[in-house]
Amino acid sequence: MAQNTEPSENRGVRPPPDVNPRTDPALDFPDKPLQDMTPGDYQVLGYMSGLEVHQQLDTPSKLFCRCPAGCRVRKVDAEVLRHMRPTLSELGEYDRTALMEFKTKKEIVYLLERGTVCTYEMDDTPPFGMDEVAVRIALEMAEMCNLNLVSELHVMRKQYLDGSIPTGFQRTAMVGLAGSVPFRVPELGVDRELRIRQLSLEEDSCREVSDVGHRITFRTDRLGTPLTEVVTEPELLSPHELQAGACLLAQVSRATGKVRRGPGAARQDVNVSVAGGRRVEIKGVHHHRRLPILVHTEAFRQLNLLRIRAELERRGVQRESLSIPEGGLPWEVTPLVLDVSSLVRHSNFQPARQAVHRGETACAVRLPGFGGLLTHPTQPGVTFAREIADRIRVIACPVHHPFMTHSDLGAESLSSQHWNQLARSLGAHSGDAIVVMWAPREDAATAAREVLIRAEDALVGIPAETRQAFPDGTTGFERILPGPDRMYPDTDTPPLPIPDRMVSEVRARLPEAPWVREARYRRIGLDARAARVLAVAVWADLFDEIVPAEGESARRLAGVLEKRIPFHSRRMRGAKPRLAEELPPATRLAPAVRALEAGEILPEALTRLVDELLENLDRPVEEVLGRYRRRPGDEERLRAALKAAELRAPLVLDGRSPDVKLRWAMGQVAPSFLGKVAPLEAEARLIAALGVGLEASKEVLPVGDSGGSETRAGEVSAEPAREKETLP
Amino acid sequence: MSVAVKDPYQGYRGPCREVMERFGITVWCEVRAKTTQGLFEGLLLPRSETSDELHLVLKLGVGYNIGIRHDTVLELEKIGYREARYQIPEREFPTDPAHPNVKLLGTGGTIASRLDYRTGAVIPAFSPGELYGSVPELAEICNLETEKLFGVFSENMSPEHYLILAEKTGEAIREGYDGVVIGHGTDTMHHTAAALSFMVQNPPVPIIMVGSQRSSDRPSSDAAQNLINATWAAARGPIAEVLVCMFGPTSDLYNLLHRGTRVRKMHSSVRSTFRTLGDIPVAMVEKGKVTPIKDDWRPRRDDREVTVQAAFEEKVTIAYYYPGMQPDVIDAMVEKGYKGIIIAGTGLGHVNRLIYPALARANAAGVHLYMTLQTLWGFVQMQVYETGREILELGVVPLANMLPEVAYIKLGWALGVHPDDPEAVRTLMTTSMAGEMTEREPHDGYLILQGGIPEVQAFLEKVWR
């Protein structure tokens, strides 16, 4: 493979560095669980992370064809079978990921459904023009992130040979570069800018259905859906900062109101490294709350790999001792590998023995100087051996599990006698490790080579990888991390100039950014917490449409919406509201706020009033309101009620404490005067009427509304605490 | 298509060129661009000549290209220089005396290719070394020699190219190659296949035409499979005819060998675009195996005898009939000196009465008139309706189930071979030479499955399409 670059001057344009700027790994730092770590601890580790957020855009059609977007189907009309071959980049180099995928020799099957896929997605028709709606949304998001907009979109092909896109590449275009958004998380002590490296507009890939052996199957309905990818600088310095950053970016995209919601509509890739390590990418994390444990685990995986490297260095293990000539069957070209099928055939270790009986080849690889390191922990419950097993799993594609064992496990698999025999045949010393794996002959050859490649990588430390997230918080090897060499221009699509007119239209209609909104809410009197919550709430527009007056009215309304909208939404739809369309119209609630502002009802009544308005949607607003409005004669009726309570109290509660009497009496009187008489006033007058002592009035009695921060007891229990977590 | 390597402003003209000159920047400079939109850093790439003259193209460090409009540029600062020389890794094509020898003739097209910055397009890469670099499997099939005859896109192939190609094919056969592969763009591959079918007669070895529907610069390309199967069919296949070797289904499964006179490109872009019309394909090729599915093919021979009749009369045309066609269309062709007209008629071979007088005038002027079908499938049968009988009387000769494009090529060739012998031309035209007319159409010679129908649906669920 030719390197086609001329020696260049020292300065120049380079891809962002993949290596952590600090080269001193904190090898002595103890492995600690996430909850025991402080931000200072991560600083010691040299932890840094960045995000790549993929967000589907809510457009009627796909990005490069006019198939409907956002459909999810299970029906299959037809299937096609494809393979992928690596191709050259524009600069004449093969991408290393591409070469790796080629080694896997996968058959790729695409499931097609007539309604959601056309010949474009099947890669049987060139692309149609880029969807303008999507371009506008991408511009809008780029503007919100304060990015420098490009003046012409160039559609590029970003190679993906894993089959997730039938063309073998993703069409993607850079929209904007080098921006930032305000990043304020008081609970983490964060108050700075989050720098955004870039935003690109691209097509979504297929959904994987299965991946067994050499066949991988994909569903194509999602393929081609417009997607923005927002990449941050790697400046998120703890797992919780990372999570907060992800939430912030989600809020930015949601602020446009033009992004898809629901499972898989937004997916995060995370780049992580620690001092002495290098960027590793964890792919496709759907939930923000999973981010901290994943990156925490990855940080310690890197640290452990660096410890393994240090130990290998101490033992004097050299790269050359692990290298193997190109071409040929490994057991024929290097003494490090042996075909041990005949030995395994007679062993008592069932998985290997059965494999050989199936006709597979078993081979043993000697790893000089690796003795004891294969059981070195890398992640919770995971050892270094899994690093090796993962490579075999992904690249040699074994169907049967397990497909590997190793000498550090002792007699758990093969007997000590067999291990000794293997060690003799391989010329292994006590400090060496032996890996035995079994697979069909050709795959076994691939596997043996991969074992040696991964072992060699251990001397480098952290291999550049993308990793998939597992439910237990650990990650597994997915593929070699691709470089910029996998990008080349899409010759099917002409460059698309972005007219100034389009940019100014987008700017004119730019939605209010969450941080701008938050500041506005602070200005009309909301406290910091309420303003933050409201700024990103689905009902923020509803709040704005009602136009509450500054001060108490705004505070009351914000509180009531925050508490009651999710409750009513869940009551009616079984879920929290996600879309503005799921909310009640402003016209239903505004009159209540107007009445409150005019002093026609007292603030304590607002929650109850809103509840009634939303529970009885067919009842006219005025009818509901009327029951809470102050009317002439309220005073007489109050006096009558007080009198009645005064008369009945001795009969009902004879001999009970004044406190109980007062509570009972409030229960008798207050509800009918909600909105008309302030609870404190009602209480004071009852105290006077009943002649109960002052000690009873020290407690605030739970009647009516006290600013949204309290609700009726029954409702509180109906809302479990987890609703506080509004993160998707 | 030669790339002007020395031009420091490749593709840039007008205002962009001015900006580059003003700041002393050429293509391949790494620049820091201060613009009204902010700061951008990247490698200044050549601009496609068909793109506008308003934007500079930068390749960013992350691999993306972006366009910067000239009037947003405040300053360009050179921070480096890095010229890309795009090259397919070239390795010497290994030879094995036990392998058959194959000659690959190149006409252009995208059988193996690389990107051209100037046009933003794909240009072919062709030497055995380049081919070996991108499709190493070829070395297991044959010893390969290549010769680039032209560098034209399929749509620019013309009769003059057919003549050279026919002669070169004959030459390769006489030189002793065990098979000839012709790399060709797909648009007019069936025209060229027909031309070779008539010009290169009775070849002793396979002549296999091949191309690709998805350019070879992409991972999902059909080029490699096509090339591998075509090379196999040429090197080791048993059928010594002019055949087109392209994808059978759209899936990466097998190729079909279509007879050069019965094949047609039937879809603008799908991989399985080439179909045999009015018959079944000659054979399937898959994983080193040619499996004939017809039995009337001409077998490979050991001799090197071949007749090449390379000639073509260019004053031949196809008149695609439509209702309302005016007679002056025919008259104009006659006036312009056309010597032969292939009519693509409706139904069984019909045109409207309005143009009868024009056809009569053409016939009287000695213009050869032949009838073929727009329906593509089926036979011209002009005795069935009165219309047909009337047209026959005007001197229009029916060509059975010869495809219109094939008839055009054949007439051009026949007139080229016999410029002054109308009877000989007529005899050639009405005699099937290379399967261009068949005596019978099998029931599965016409098979366009209609989507959506339950039984077709059931079929599609069972097979990879």
In this model, does residue A11 exceed pLDDT 80? no
Statement to judge: residues A272 and A149 lie in one domain = yes
Structure tokens at A554: 């705004």
In this model, does residue B30 exceed pLDDT 80? yes
Q: For residue B159, what are the contacts with CB-CB under 8 A and spacing of at least 6? A: B195, B312, B314, B412
Interface confidence, given as ipTM, is: 0.91
Q: For residue B123, what are the contacts with CB-CB under 8 A and spacing of at least 6? A: B1, B113, B114, B115, B116, B151
Partner residues linked to B464 by β-bridges: A79
Q: What was the pLDDT predicted at A563? A: 87
Of all residues in chain B, the one with the smallest CA distance to A102 is B219
In a domain, B442, yes or no: no
Tell which of A601, A626, A651 closes a domain: A626
Q: Work out the pLDDT band at B125, boundaries 50, 70, 90.
A: low
Q: Output the domain CATH number for residue B264.
A: 3.40.50.1170
Selected for mutation to probe chain A from B16, B28, B64, B73 (highest A CB count within 10 Å) is B64
Q: What was the pLDDT predicted at B182? A: 94
Q: Would you tell me how many other CB atoms lie within 10 Å of the CB of residue B353?
A: 9
Q: What was the pLDDT predicted at B112? A: 61
In a domain, B374, yes or no: yes
Structure tokens at B203: 């070849």
In this model, does residue A698 exceed pLDDT 70? no
B430 is catalytic: no
Of all residues in chain B, the one with the smallest CA distance to A77 is B461
Q: What was the pLDDT predicted at A653? A: 67
**How far is it, in rounded angstroms, from Cα B157 to Cα B209?**
14
Statement to judge: residues A614 and A666 lie in one domain = no
Nearest Cα to Cα of residue B125 among B146, B95, B155: B146
B187 is catalytic: yes
Q: What was the pLDDT predicted at B110? A: 60
Q: How many domains does chain A have?
A: 4
Inter-chain contact B79–A1, Cβ cutoff 8 Å?
no
What percent of chain B has pLDDT above 90?
A: 73
Residue range A666-684, pLDDT digits in tens: 777 777 777 777 777 777 7
Statement to judge: residues A609 and A640 lie in one domain = no
Q: Would you tell me how many other CB atoms lie within 10 Å of the CB of residue A398?
A: 24
Statement to judge: residues A114 and A254 lie in one domain = yes
Statement to judge: residues A19 and A124 lie in one domain = yes
Of all residues in chain A, the one with the smallest CA distance to B116 is A90
Tell which of A285, A312, A339 closes a domain: A312
DSSP letter, residue A393: I
Q: What was the pLDDT predicted at A97? A: 62
Look up the domain containing A518 and give its range.
512-626
Burial of A381 (C-beta count, 10 Å sphere; 0-12/13-18/19+): exposed
Statement to judge: residues A258 and A401 lie in one domain = no
Statement to judge: residues A566 and A668 lie in one domain = no
In a domain, B458, yes or no: no
Q: What was the pLDDT predicted at B316? A: 97
A353 neighbors A345 (Cβ within 8 angstroms): yes
Inter-chain contact B115–A90, Cβ cutoff 8 Å?
yes
Considering CB atoms only, which of A13, A147, A166 is closest to B43? A13
Q: What was the pLDDT predicted at A485? A: 64
Q: Work out the pLDDT band at A93, boundaries 50, 70, 90.
A: low
Considering CB atoms only, which of A92, A152, A484 is closest to B85? A92
The whole-number average pLDDT for the span B369-379 is: 97
Q: What was the pLDDT predicted at A597? A: 82
Tell which of B81, B110, B137 closes a domain: B81
Inter-chain contact A4–B120, Cβ cutoff 8 Å?
no
Q: Work out the pLDDT band at B126, boundaries 50, 70, 90.
A: low
Q: What was the pLDDT predicted at A327? A: 78
**How far is it, in rounded angstroms, from Cα A657 to Cα A664?**
11
Statement to judge: residues A566 and A676 lie in one domain = no
Look up the domain containing B153 and give its range.
101-308
For chain B, positions 218-237, list CB contacts with chain A under 8 A: 218-221, 224-225
In a domain, B418, yes or no: yes
Statement to judge: residues B136 and B158 lie in one domain = yes
Structure tokens at A98: 């591409």
Statement to judge: residues B394 and B414 lie in one domain = yes
Inter-chain contact B250–A158, Cβ cutoff 8 Å?
no
Q: Are strands B179-183 and B101-106 parallel, antiparallel or unpaired?
A: parallel
Q: What was the pLDDT predicted at A706? A: 42
In a domain, B175, yes or no: yes
Statement to judge: residues B199 and B167 lie in one domain = yes
Nearest Cα to Cα of residue B143 among B205, B206, B94: B94
DSSP letter, residue A7: P
A282 neighbors A270 (Cβ within 8 angstroms): yes
Statement to judge: residues B324 and B285 lie in one domain = no
In a domain, A489, yes or no: no
Q: How many residues does chain A have?
A: 728
Residue range A619-632, pLDDT digits in tens: 888 887 888 777 77
Residue range A106-148, pLDDT digits in tens: 899 999 999 999 999 999 999 999 999 999 999 999 999 999 9
Of all residues in chain B, the one with the smallest CA distance to A99 is B219
Q: How many domains does chain B have?
A: 3
Inter-chain contact A494–B220, Cβ cutoff 8 Å?
no
Statement to judge: residues A340 and A297 lie in one domain = no
Q: Output the domain CATH number for residue B38.
A: 2.30.30.520
Statement to judge: residues B50 and B71 lie in one domain = yes
Catalytic residue among B103, B107, B110, B169: B110
Q: Which residue has the higher pLDDT, A101 or B409?
A: B409
Statement to judge: residues A459 and A554 lie in one domain = no
Statement to judge: residues A12 and A104 lie in one domain = yes
Inter-chain contact A85–B40, Cβ cutoff 8 Å?
no
Q: For residue B453, what are the contacts with CB-CB under 8 A and spacing of at least 6? A: none
Q: What was the pLDDT predicted at B23? A: 95
**How far is it, in rounded angstroms, from Cα B435 to Cα B261?**
6
B315 is catalytic: no
In a domain, A680, yes or no: yes
In this model, does residue A369 exceed pLDDT 60? yes
Residues of B in contact with A114 (CB under 8 A): 451-452
In this model, does residue A721 exceed pLDDT 50? no
Residue range A464-523, pLDDT digits in tens: 999 999 988 899 999 887 766 677 888 889 999 999 999 999 999 998 899 999 999 999
For A126, phi then psi, to 5°, come to -65, 160
In a domain, B191, yes or no: yes
For chain B, positions 174-213, list CB contacts with chain A under 8 A: 213
Q: What was the pLDDT predicted at B155? A: 85
Q: Work out the pLDDT band at B115, boundaries 50, 70, 90.
A: low
Q: What was the pLDDT predicted at A528? A: 87
In a domain, A52, yes or no: yes
Q: What was the pLDDT predicted at A101? A: 63
Q: Measured between CB atoms, does B406 come within 8 Å of chain A?
A: no
Amino acid at B262: R
Tell which of A576, A593, A626 closes a domain: A626
In a domain, B423, yes or no: yes
Residue range A293-306, pLDDT digits in tens: 999 999 999 999 99
Mean pLDDT, chain A, integer: 85
In this model, does residue A96 exceed pLDDT 70? no
Statement to judge: residues B174 and B54 lie in one domain = no
Q: Work out the pLDDT band at A92, boundaries 50, 70, 90.
A: low
Helix or strand holding residue A192 (H, E):
strand A190-203
Tracing tokens 């992130």 back to the chain, one arrives at: A145
In a domain, A333, yes or no: yes
Helix or strand holding residue A501 (H, E):
helix A500-508
Q: For residue A193, what are the contacts with CB-CB under 8 A and spacing of at least 6? A: A180, A181, A182, A183
Inter-chain contact A491–B122, Cβ cutoff 8 Å?
yes
In this model, does residue B412 exceed pLDDT 50? yes
Residue range A259-289, pLDDT digits in tens: 998 888 999 999 999 999 999 999 989 888 8
> Which of A101-105, A540-544, B102-106 ranks highest by mean pLDDT?
B102-106
Partner residues linked to A272 by β-bridges: A49, A280
The CA angle A602-A626-A631, to the nearest 5 degrees, is 65
Statement to judge: residues B262 and B130 lie in one domain = yes
Statement to judge: residues B42 and B161 lie in one domain = no
Statement to judge: residues B24 and B105 lie in one domain = no
B110 is catalytic: yes
In a domain, A504, yes or no: no
Q: What was the pLDDT predicted at A194? A: 96
Of all residues in chain A, the one with the smallest CA distance to B460 is A78
Statement to judge: residues A619 and A671 lie in one domain = no
The whole-number average pLDDT for the span B431-451 is: 93
B212 neighbors B111 (Cβ within 8 angstroms): yes
In a domain, A2, yes or no: no
Tracing tokens 């050359």 back to the chain, one arrives at: A320
In a domain, B352, yes or no: yes
A473 neighbors A380 (Cβ within 8 angstroms): yes
Statement to judge: residues B154 and B241 lie in one domain = yes
Q: What was the pLDDT predicted at A694? A: 46
For chain B, positions 298-317, list CB contacts with chain A under 8 A: none
Judged by DSSP in three states, A343 sits in helix
In this model, does residue B231 exceed pLDDT 60? yes
Distance from CA of A52 to the nearest CA of B (A): 14
Statement to judge: residues B288 and B365 lie in one domain = no
Q: What was the pLDDT predicted at A4? A: 39
Which region among A211-225, B98-112, B229-243 has the lowest average model confidence (pLDDT)?
Answer: B98-112
Residue range B40-49, pLDDT digits in tens: 999 998 888 8
In this model, does residue B85 exceed pLDDT 70? no
Distance from CA of A101 to the nearest CA of B (A): 11
Q: Work out the pLDDT band at B169, boundaries 50, 70, 90.
A: very high
Nearest Cα to Cα of residue B127 among B141, B108, B147: B147
A363 neighbors A331 (Cβ within 8 angstroms): yes
Q: Work out the pLDDT band at B334, boundaries 50, 70, 90.
A: very high
Mean pLDDT, chain B, integer: 90
Q: Measured between CB atoms, does B69 come within 8 Å of chain A?
A: yes
Q: What was the pLDDT predicted at A153? A: 97
Q: Output the domain CATH number for residue B399.
A: 3.40.50.40
Q: What was the pLDDT predicted at B122? A: 54
Q: Work out the pLDDT band at A372, boundaries 50, 70, 90.
A: very high
Q: What was the pLDDT predicted at A588? A: 84
Q: What was the pLDDT predicted at A215? A: 93
In a domain, A468, yes or no: no
Statement to judge: residues B144 and B201 lie in one domain = yes
